[in-house]
Structure 1
Amino acid sequence: MDTEGILDSEPAQQAGRLLSRLTTDAELFLEGLLRPWNAYQIAIAMGLFLVAHLVATYWITPSLRDWLRTREGWPKWRMRMMVVIQRRVRMMVFVVLIWSVVWVMRELTWPSRSYLLALLANLALAWLLIAVLTRLIGNPMLRSAVRYGAWTWVTLSFLDLTEETRAVLDSLAISFGDMRLSAWIVLQAAVMLAVLITLARFVATASSARIRANEDISPSMQVLAVKILQVALYGAAFFLGLKLVGVDLTGLAVLSGAIGVGLGFGLQKVVSNLVSGVILLLDRSIKPGDVISLGDTFGWINALGARYVSITTRDGKEYLIPNEDLITGQVVNWSHSNDFVRLDVYFGTAYGDDPHLVRKVAIAACAGTPRVLADRAPVCHIVGFGDSSVDYILRFWIRDPTGGLTNIRGNVYLALWDAFQEHGISIPFPQREVRVLEGSTLATRRAPLPD
Structure 2
Amino acid sequence: MPDLYLTAPDNEHFESLADLSARALANASPGELVTLLLVVVASGALAVFLLRRLRAKIPDTRRWRPLWSICVCFVPACCCLLMLLAAYLTARPWIDTELLVVMALASVLQLLIQIPALVLELVFRPVPVLRLLLRCLSWLVCLCVMFAVLQPERDLEHVLDAARAIRLTAGPVRVNLLSLAAGAATAIVVMIVAHGTIKWLGRRLERSTRLSPNLALAMRRIIDIAVWTVATVAVLAQAGVDVKAMAAFAGALGIGVGLGLQRLAASYISGLIVLFEQSVRIGDTIAAGGVKGRVTHMTVRYTTITTGDGIEALVPNDTLTVNTVINQSWTDNTLRLSNSIHIDIESDTAAAKEAILTILSAQARVLQMPPPAVYIADIADGRIRLEAQYWIADPSNGQLNLTSDINEAILGAFRVRDIRAARWLALREPSRA
TM-score of the superposed pair, with normalisation by structure 1? 0.75
Aligned residue identity for 1:259: L
Residue correspondence of structure 1 range 109-258 to structure 2 within 5 A: 111-114=97-100, 117-118=103-104, 121-122=107-108, 125=111, 136=122, 137-160=125-148, 166-174=160-168, 180-258=174-252
Does 1:95 pair with 2:89? Answer: no
Q: CA deviation at 1:286?
A: 0.4
Deviation at 1:279, TM superposition (A): 2.1
Gaps of 5+ in 1: 1-28, 442-451
Q: Please give the per-residue CA displacement for 1:13-64, whole angstroms capped at 9, x wherever unaligned.
A: xxxxxxxxxxxxxxxx9xx98976354243344256348737975xx67876
Asked if 1 retains the 8 angstrom alpha-carbon contact of 2:77 and 2:107, the reply is no
Residues 343, 397 of structure 1: 8 Å contact kept: yes
Structure 2 counterparts to residues 3-18 of structure 1, below 5 A: none
What CA deviation, in whole Å up to 9, does each residue of 1:63-101 have, x standing for no partner?
A: 7678x49xxxx8945544566688899847742532313
Distance 1:290 1:208, change over 3 A: same
Distance 1:77 1:304, change over 3 A: closer
Q: 1:345 is matched with which residue?
A: 339
The reply on whether 1:406 has 2:400 as its aligned counterpart is yes
Q: CA RMSD in A?
A: 4.0
Task: Find the residue that maps to 2:250 and give its secondary structure.
Answer: helix
Moved more, 82-91 or 267-276: 82-91
Q: 1:264 to 1:313 in 2, by over 3 A?
A: same
CA contact 1:61–1:89 (8 Å) conserved in 2: no
Q: How many matched pairs? A: 403
Say whether 1:37 aligns with 2:29.
Answer: yes
**1:285 equivalent in alignment to 2:279:** yes
Q: Does the C-alpha gap of structure 1 residues 131 and 248 become closer, same or farther in structure 2, counting only changes over 3 Å? A: closer
Q: Provide the rounded CA distance (Å) in 2 between the counterparts of 1:286 and 1:225.
A: 16
Offset, 1:230:
2.2
The residue type paired with residue 298 of structure 2 is: L
- Relative to structure 2, which stretch is displaced further, 289-298 or 227-236? 289-298
Separation in 1 of the partners of 2:179 and 2:396? 54
3-state secondary structure, aligned to 1:229: helix
Partner secondary structure for residue 29 of structure 2? helix
Q: Do the aligned partners of residues 172 and 320 (structure 1) sit closer, same or farther apart at CA in structure 2, a change above 3 Å counting?
A: farther
Distance 1:53 1:149, change over 3 A: closer
Q: 1:300 to 1:178 in 2, by over 3 A?
A: closer
Among candidates 326, 332, 356, match of residue 332 of structure 1: 326
- Separation in 2 of the partners of 1:178 and 1:260? 16
The structure-2 alpha-carbon separation of the partners of 1:198 and 1:44, relative to structure 1 and needing over 3 Å to count, comes to closer
Deviation at 1:106, TM superposition (A): 10
* Structure 2 residue ranges without an equivalent (≥5): 1-20
Q: Distance in 2 between matches of 1:182 and 1:52?
A: 35
CA contact 2:134–2:189 (8 Å) conserved in 1: no
Aligned residues of 1:243 and 1:249 also touching (Cα < 8 A): yes
Percent of matched pairs sharing the same residue: 22
Deviation at 1:340, TM superposition (A): 1.0
In 2, distance between residues paired with 1:184 and 1:389? 91
SS class of match (2:198): helix
Counterpart CA distance in 2 for 1:301 and 1:262 is 34
1:276 CA drift (Å): 1.4
Q: Assess if the C-alpha contact under 8 Å between 1:48 and 1:94 holds in 2.
A: no
